[in-house]
């Protein structure tokens, strides 16, 4: 009986290994409409960050874009030195969000940290809606 169980488990492991595929990130969804809201700075650690500014604005008639500026007091590796960093005109691509998200208003809390220290926390808001059609 033990041999049959071991052979069955071995067979299942071999079958699942053959069927495993790498996840395809080149997909998009059209199940729902995503409307980006505003972003806000919830808090920041003045020991590591001089200032953080966030601004949301209408990029065009239908699209909301975001600008974020961060001035660090610390040297974070070779690339991030003591200076100001900007993200300009960032637009969220709603087609790259995962499918089957529920309809409603959402808040995403983004925590940026270095080693064990929290640098700043941002809240981003958005809305997911669906077109309901009758046949």
- Per residue in 97-134, pLDDT tens? 887 888 999 999 999 988 888 999 999 999 999 887 65
pLDDT recorded at residue 124 = 93
Containing structural domain, residue 54: 33-129
Q: Is 2 exposed, middle or buried (0-12, 13-18, 19+ CB in 10 A)?
A: exposed
Give residue 115's pLDDT: 85
pLDDT of residue 1: 43
Domain assignment present for 20: no
pLDDT digits (tens, 9 = 90+) for 30-58: 788 889 999 999 999 999 899 999 999 99
- The per-residue pLDDT for 18 is 47
Rounded Cα–Cα distance for residues 82 and 113 (Å): 16
The answer to whether position 105 is within a domain reads: yes
Q: Answer yes or no: is 8 within a domain.
A: no
Res 85 pLDDT > 70: yes
What's the total number of domains in the chain? 1
Q: 11 in a domain, yes or no?
A: no
What is the pLDDT at residue 101? 83
Task: Tell me if 25 is assigned to some domain.
Answer: no
The string of pLDDT tens digits covering residues 9-23 is 544 455 444 455 665
pLDDT of residue 133: 66
Where does the chain have alpha helices with state H? 2-19
- DSSP 8-state code for residue 54: E
Whether residue 14 is contained in a domain is answered as no
The answer to whether position 7 is within a domain reads no
Q: Is residue 3 part of a domain?
A: no
pLDDT tops 90 at residue 84:
no
pTM: 0.71
């Amino acid at each position: 009986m033990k041999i049959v169980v071991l052979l069955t488990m071995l067979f299942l492991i071999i079958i699942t290994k053959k069927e495993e595929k790498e996840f395809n990130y080149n997909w998009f969804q059209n199940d729902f409409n995503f409307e980006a809201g505003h972003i806000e700075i919830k808090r920041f650690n003045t020991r590591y960050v001089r200032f953080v500014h966030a601004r949301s604005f209408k990029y065009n008639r239908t699209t909301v874009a975001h600008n974020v500026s961060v001035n660090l007091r610390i040297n974070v590796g070779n690339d991030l030195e003591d200076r100001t960093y900007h993200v300009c005109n960032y637009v969220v691509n709603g087609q790259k969000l995962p499918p089957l998200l529920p309809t409603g208003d959402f808040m995403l809390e983004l925590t940026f940290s270095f080693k064990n220290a929290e640098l700043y926390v941002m809240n981003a808001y958005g809305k997911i809606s669906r077109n309901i059609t009758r046949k």
